[in-house]
Amino acid sequence: MASLTDPPRQSFRLSMLFNDTRYRSLTFQAIAAILLALAIWYLGNNLIQNLRAAGLNISYDFFGEPAGYDINQRLIEYDSQSTHGRAAVVGILNTLLVAFLACITATVFGVIAGVLRLSNNWLVAKLMAVYVEIFRNIPVLIWIIIIFTIMTAVLPSPRAYRGDDATHSMLFDLFAFTNRGVYIPGPTFTNPIGGIGISWLLVLGVLVASFFGARAIAARATRIQEQTGERPTTWYLTLGVWFVPVAILLAVMGLTWNVPELRGFNFSGGIKIGGPLIALWFALSIYTGAFIAENVRAGIQAISKGQTEAAGALGLRPGRIMNLVVLPQALRVIIPPLISQYLNITKNSSLAIAVGYADITATLGGITLNQTGRAIECVLLLMLFYLTISLLISAGMNVYNNSVKLKER
Distance CA 52, CA 58 (A): 9
For residue 327, how many other CB atoms are within 10 A of its CB?
18
- The mean pLDDT of 17-26, rounded to a whole number, is 74
Q: How confident is the model at residue 286 (pLDDT cuts 50, 70, 90)?
A: very high
pLDDT (0 to 100) of residue 98: 93
- The mean pLDDT of 194-206, rounded to a whole number, is 82
pLDDT (0 to 100) of residue 249: 86
Q: What is the mean pLDDT of the chain?
A: 84
Angle among Cα 10, 14, 17 to the nearest 5 degrees reads 90
- The mean pLDDT of 307-320, rounded to a whole number, is 82
Greater confidence (34 vs 18) lies with 34
Positions of E strands within 291-378: none
The answer to whether 290 and 113 have CB atoms below 8 angstroms apart is yes
The answer to whether 187 and 256 have CB atoms below 8 angstroms apart is yes
Distance CA 377, CA 41 (A): 18
Q: How confident is the model at residue 406 (pLDDT cuts 50, 70, 90)?
A: low
Q: How confident is the model at residue 12 (pLDDT cuts 50, 70, 90)?
A: low
Phi, psi at 268, each rounded to 5°: -135, 155
> 143-157, 190-204, 213-227, 269-283: which has the minimum mean pLDDT?
190-204
Q: Is the pLDDT of residue 4 over 60?
A: no
Q: Is the pLDDT of residue 171 over 90?
A: no
3-state secondary structure of 257: strand
Q: Is the pLDDT of residue 167 over 70?
A: no
- The mean pLDDT of 63-85, rounded to a whole number, is 85
Q: How confident is the model at residue 407 (pLDDT cuts 50, 70, 90)?
A: low
Describe the chain by its helix, strand, coil percentages, rounded to 5: 70, 5, 25
The answer to whether 380 and 48 have CB atoms below 8 angstroms apart is no
